[in-house]
Chains A and B, each alone.
Chain A
Amino acid sequence: MISSLTGLITHSIDAVSDTVSEAFFEPVVRLGVTGLSRAGKTVFITALVHNLMEPGRMQRMRAVQQGLIRGAWLQPQPDMTLPRFDYEAHLASLTGEAPRWPQGTRAVSELRLSFRLAPTGLFGGLTGPRKLHLDIVDYPGEWLLDLGLMGKSYASWSAEVLARLPKRPQAEVFREVLLNIDPQARHEESVAQSLAREFTAYLVAAREAGWSDCTPGRFLLPGEMAGSPVLTFAPLPGSEGKRGSLWREMARRFDAYKAQVIRPFFETHFARLDRQVVLIDVLEAVHRGPAALEDQRRAMAEVLAAFRPGANGFFTSMLRGRRVEKILFAATKADHLHHTQHPRLTALAEALLREARDRARFSGAETAAMSIAALRSTIEEQRSHGGREVDLVRGRLSDGRQVAVNAGELPEDPSRLLLPAREGAERWLQGDYGVMQFAPPVLSRVPGQGLPHIRLDSAAEFLIGDRLV
């Protein structure tokens, strides 16, 4: 308790001194890229940085239109203890001879992109070119889910997880193990170990099967914490335990997990964001069916509840710390649909994140929703199929085959998908959706033009455009 208080205070002091220096010297924009595992955070960051450095395809940014960006370069990041985002390696894997998507992210990394901007405004001629730093953090999406745990007690978390288990076939082994365990028995480390092992196995299997909500996230990617007591717990039934019991010990570890794993992660990377983009792969969830969609909705709602949106005034930001003042909800993989369907995809993503959007708007933050593709991997075309013209997207699958696909028609009213999902429908009423996994395109690149994308320029304009002009 005391340590978390002092931590908070040191943190606030840091934040204040940072804000003072930023307000007067070199402004920094901290962009939070939020998204569950496989939402495409790494590709988004790579494509954004590449396109900002070679802005030929960013015509919808005012700063690009007006030619204000004199230069952009990747700086060593300000945080001494974090590795640098491996931009070059990710770019190489996306643009090589045989392009492939980057591997899943396994650790936190950071990057700072610095702009040199032409002077604008009344005193522009006096001050000369301005500088602006854009800080972006990449991290495993699995860990993001943990933010939803911060406000929960061990008992309530256990109850939620256990209620979920029967719906997931991957949990069968763990449930059997659980039957033979008495939560009120004396704590024995070997029992705890085996329980945690089974629980972890279940989480890994559930994530493989595409479920979104697989907390705690560190169990999936433990890093150097593997095997430590803080990662050796599992949900148990019941609402409290006797002193020295297994239940009590598990609850103690859960609290330690919250205090020593989640909180530092949140405070160093999320508590001081200015702008936030929420990437969400709705299409994949729709493809997997109603249960996956509802699961994704709930997971995102819990995660987004941890953030503090709101407007930043000059003084308020110094006093109470910064708040996220602009949030973009971006449905990714827009290139998997023909553009006539993009408004429907956007509406679906917006409806899915409705709670978070309303909360952000109420507290004064600006929000927007878009369908984007950070790296466009298909082109659009029309072909006749079954006697009529259909809109298709054409691209390359990871096995090298070329296909033209229509993923199925999204409904105009998003509640036609969200309501059945909430009510626990088994499958979609209107038929199926088939979403393919396209590989990155083989590109014929032109100097000065970044990676091809869909609406990445509009997204960047919304997120940081006002700070560049």
Chain B
Amino acid sequence: MENRGPILIELDAAEAPADVAAAPEVDAPEGAAMQAALGSMARKRGGGPGSWALAAGGALVSLAVSVAAWDFAARLIERAPLLGWLAAVLAGVLALALVLWAGKEALGYARVARLDRLRARASAALVAGDLTEARAVAAAVAGLYGAEDRTLEALDAEAVIEGAEAHLLIALDARVEVEIQTAARAVALATAIIPLAFADVAAALSANLRMIRRIAEIYGGRPGAFGNWRLARSVAVHLMATGLVAVTDDVIHSVAGGGLLSKLSRRFGEGVVNGALTARVGLAAMELCRPLPFRMGRKPGVSAVTATALKGLFDRG
């Protein structure tokens, strides 16, 4: 290894003395709020005796409540038939609404899963060069968005998939990018301004969950509440597994070169890093929700997205 040895430069007396008190801190901000938010997104819920106890308790309570409601309605019918039937109908409506809600959640789940399947099929078709499969995927994606399939004249798998991507997804990608930028901006501002610990984590968490839901909706996923949590968890796990939650230099440089951060106060530096991490979450969610894999260099870079999102936000520290 090369060692350059010590360097000593003596400065002119005319040069202003070093103002240590005003010097920026040496450590880069670590985006604490986003790290905490990602941590809670990635945490696995349920499992173990605790959740069994909870589930059994819940079942017991709902059993008791339904029996009580049944008794209540039955007795009311004896006393005042009109009111009794009203109560019975209301109970029926409630039960129906619950069933519908559960169905909707399941449907949302299935829709997200369908996007995932489509992308897997598209990747497989690309690897195998399977034209029929590629056409089937393109048709399915076109059907998803209610558009006509214009890729019939293409004669190899890559052309079919890329044609479908160009035709169907570019407009959606742009909308998703705007969504990511909005969220990154919101998180950056919130974590820079909210002085309360935990409140900034809550703000970052809610903004990220909203962003992930919007991204899934744009690509036709429309996940329910559970589907959204599930999606957020896979995004967070994916980011952690690939080490993308670490604050590396590119996060910082993406904002506007390394020099800027050192001029910002600590708090605004945290905001910038939180915003940049949000953009990463958004891009990971985009990849997970998109029905086709990114081709032809269409994948947006973290730096570009972050830079656009935070432009003008912290220009002067």
- The complex places the Cα of A451 from the Cα of B209 at a distance, in Å, of 41
CB within 8 Å for A403 and B9 given contacts A394-B18, A441-B18: yes
Contacts of A59 in B (CB 8 A): 266
Mark A26-62 against chain B: 1 for CB-CB distance below 8 A, else 0.
Answer: 0000000000000000000000000000000001001
Of listed A379, A416, A446, residue having the most chain B CB within 10 A: A379
CB within 8 Å for A402 and B6 given contacts A66-B197, A377-B20, A444-B21: no
Contact present for B6 and A380 (CB under 8 Å) = no
A405 at the interface (CB under 8 A from B): yes
Taking CB atoms and an 8 Å cut-off, the chain A residues in 221-254 that contact chain B are none
Taking CB atoms and an 8 Å cut-off, the chain B residues in 1-59 that contact chain A are 1, 3-11, 13, 15, 17-23, 25-27
Contact present for A409 and B3 (CB under 8 Å) = yes
Q: Give min CB distance, A317 to chain B, whole Å.
A: 30
A75 at the interface (CB under 8 A from B): no
Contact present for A392 and B7 (CB under 8 Å) = yes
Contact present for A432 and B9 (CB under 8 Å) = no
Contact present for B27 and A394 (CB under 8 Å) = no
Contacts of A380 in B (CB 8 A): 23, 26
Q: Give min CB distance, B75 to chain A, whole Å.
A: 42
The range of chain B's interface size is 20 to 34
A186 at the interface (CB under 8 A from B): no
Contact present for A402 and B3 (CB under 8 Å) = no
- B13: nearest chain-A partner, CB-CB: A402
Contacts of B22 in A (CB 8 A): 444
- The complex places the Cα of A409 from the Cα of B18 at a distance, in Å, of 23
- The complex places the Cα of A66 from the Cα of B198 at a distance, in Å, of 9
CB within 8 Å for A432 and B197 given contacts A402-B15, A443-B21, A452-B21: no
Contact present for B26 and A431 (CB under 8 Å) = no
Contact present for B27 and A403 (CB under 8 Å) = no
Using A396-B18, A403-B11, A406-B6 as known contacts, list a sample of 12 further A-B pairs with CB atoms less than 8 Å apart, ordered by residue number in A: A65-B197, A377-B20, A379-B18, A379-B19, A380-B23, A395-B18, A395-B20, A403-B9, A408-B5, A433-B6, A434-B7, A449-B21
Residues of B within 8 A of A (CB): 1, 3-11, 13, 15, 17-23, 25-27, 196-197, 266
> Mind listing 20 A-B residue pairs with CB under 8 Å?
A65-B197, A339-B27, A379-B18, A379-B19, A380-B26, A392-B9, A396-B17, A404-B8, A405-B9, A406-B4, A408-B4, A408-B6, A430-B3, A431-B3, A431-B4, A434-B5, A434-B7, A444-B22, A452-B23, A454-B25
Which 9 residue pairs spanning A and B have beta carbons closest together? A434-B6, A430-B3, A339-B26, A441-B20, A406-B7, A379-B23, A431-B3, A402-B11, A431-B5
